[in-house]
Amino acid sequence: MIDENLLQQFGAGSITIKKGDILFEEGDTAKYFYQIKSGEIKMNNFNDEGKEFIQSIFTKGNCFGEPPLFINKPYPANAVAITDAEVYAIAKESFFRLLFANPEAHLSMTVNLAQRLYFKSVMASEISSQEPEHRILKLIDYFKESVSKLQPADKYKVDLTRQQIADLTGLRVETVIRSIKSLEKKGLLIIEDRKVYR
Amino acid sequence: MIDENLLQQFGAGSITIKKGDILFEEGDTAKYFYQIKSGEIKMNNFNDEGKEFIQSIFTKGNCFGEPPLFINKPYPANAVAITDAEVYAIAKESFFRLLFANPEAHLSMTVNLAQRLYFKSVMASEISSQEPEHRILKLIDYFKESVSKLQPADKYKVDLTRQQIADLTGLRVETVIRSIKSLEKKGLLIIEDRKVYR
DNA sequence: CATCCCTTATGATTTGGGTCATAAAATGCT
DNA sequence: AGCATTTTATGACCCAAATCATAAGGGATG
């Protein structure tokens, strides 16, 4: 989201993490601004029974974990590498200096937060009050449109496992598998060689 | 969130709405920045079966409905007055001029978005994967801490109806009533004269 | 103050998604 | 190639929350 040169100019370092590594944990104090250079990071929580909930999945170019920087609260979730990844990290103070010196960068941060709040709003109403099939479709459509920047007419290959869809929607794997089957029967998506297309 | 004088200086008008009035609807194009002068506004959705989901409740001093201004998307929810209310409204363009001319105002907007994103994150994981009692307690604690700015030791009177709690957590009134009863038995909150305290 | 509607309340019944068990196919690792 | 792990898959059963019904208390309004 923020120009790489600008990040480096303000002293950003680069961190290399392996698949499965934890960048920060729920409850930690936020000290750095992070932006992905390569790879994928997810933010998640585990409830009392150990069930995972994925807040979001971030890919190349995305920044994540900023809200706590602005409001002085601990992280509400963990950040875990889904694949090997490289991440820019810049100290909180430098980050704020960067924002004040670059109004456009600040605006793009604001736009980014607005974007994510928008997504959370849409998913919140889905998760709370819709049937599984509806939730799953909405999630897939969000990924198709906002993550992959595709048009409704394009054919989109869902790059999420059934388990990940379950963890993103708060459902169980079995329910996701059955719902996806049912959605295929209704012609709302296609399963080819176990892969889901929409 | 934004100084009233500043808003007026950039040409903000004032809108008077009555309890139950709709300020904007899901799908509408965002043209104004809104901030509450007095009264309460809720943002909500209705699912296919007509069940309400309350995204948030906003009170004096809060602004709301900005994300769509930044990302050029239609409103993801409706804005409805819970009580009679007065609201500042400032045209999108004037609002952006205000932000660029006042970096501190821009920062406070960013902080506000961060705050709301934080809340949505916490509630998302709650709603998706916890039992009713847990969800309700988390919501009450959020209102106590973030809306009323009280300390854990203070006695907080929950100013939400059982129905509102249901619509904020995605549960049914009956379930909320029964859960609150059960929470009282466990000593986690107090019911006095039908009012809930925590 | 009579009426209406909202809120709180409680019991009975239903049901959809969770849970458990089991397994085959695919993928990753050494 | 061989083994472990993950992913997809399906059937049987269960249970908590939704649904349905019904009602009493409280607040607002003309």
Assess whether B101 and B13 both reside in one domain: yes
- B65 with B92, same domain: the answer is yes
In a domain, A121, yes or no: no
What is the reported pLDDT for A36? 94
* Residue carrying the six token digits 């994928």: A40
CATH of the domain at B104: 2.60.120.10
Check whether residue B93 and residue B157 sit in a common domain. Answer: no
| B147 and B77 housed in the same domain | no
- Joined together, the tokens standing for residue B30 give 């965002």
Task: Answer yes or no: is B120 within a domain.
Answer: no
B191 touches strand C (CB under 7 A): yes
Backbone region of residue A185 per phi and psi (left: phi > 0; alpha: psi in -120 to 50; beta: other values): alpha
Residues B89 and B143 in one domain: no
Q: Determine the distance in angstroms separating the CA of B162 from the nearest CA of chain A, rounded to an integer.
A: 16
pLDDT of residue A47: 82
Mean pLDDT throughout A168-193?
Answer: 94
Instruction: Please identify, among A66, A87, A115, the residue that sits at the C-terminal boundary of a domain.
Output: A115
Per-residue pLDDT at A129 exceeds 70 = no
Stretch A133-160: mean pLDDT, rounded?
90
Is A78 contained in some domain? yes
Count how many domains chain A has: 2
Q: What pLDDT is recorded for position A108?
A: 94
Residue A128 pLDDT exceeds 90? no
The reply to whether A24 and A79 lie within a common domain is yes
**Which residues touch B77 (CB under 8 Å, ≥6 apart)?**
A121, A125, B26, B43, B44, B45, B55
Domain, as residue range, for A12: 4-115
- Contact partners, residue B139, CB within 8 Å, separation at least 6: B123, B126, B165, B168, B169
- B155 neighbors B164 (Cβ within 8 angstroms): no
Is residue B175 assigned to a domain?
Answer: yes
> Distance in angstroms, CA of B157 to C1' of C1?
32
Q: Is there a single domain that holds both residue B35 and residue B100?
A: yes
Same domain, B67 and B151: no
Instruction: Give the closest of B51, B67, B125 to A55, CB-based.
Output: B125
* Judgement on whether residues B18 and B64 belong to the same structural domain of the protein: yes
- Same-domain pairing of A192 and A101: no
Predicted pLDDT of residue A179: 96
**Which pLDDT does position B132 carry in this prediction?**
94
Chain A positions touching B106 (Cβ under 8 A) are: 103, 106-107, 110
Cβ contacts from A onto B, under 8 A: 126
Predicted pLDDT of residue A171: 93
B111 and B182 within one domain: no
Tell me if B123 is assigned to some domain.
Answer: no
The CATH number of residue A158's host domain is: 1.10.10.10
Predicted pLDDT at B75: 96
A125 within a domain of the structure (yes/no):
no
Query: Over chain B (198 residues), what is each successive 10-residue block's mean pLDDT?
Result: 93 92 94 94 86 89 95 94 92 95 94 93 81 93 86 91 93 96 94 92
Same domain, B25 and B96: yes
Nearest-Cα residue of chain A relative to residue B130? A47
A120 in a domain, yes or no?
A: no
DSSP labels for A21-57? -EEE-TTPPP-EEEEEEES-EEEEEE-TT--EEEEEE
> Is A123 within the bounds of a domain?
no
The answer to whether the CB of B62 falls within 8 A of the CB of B35 is yes
* Residues A56-109 pLDDT 10s: 989 889 999 999 999 999 999 999 998 889 999 999 999 999 999 999 999 999
pLDDT of residue B87: 94
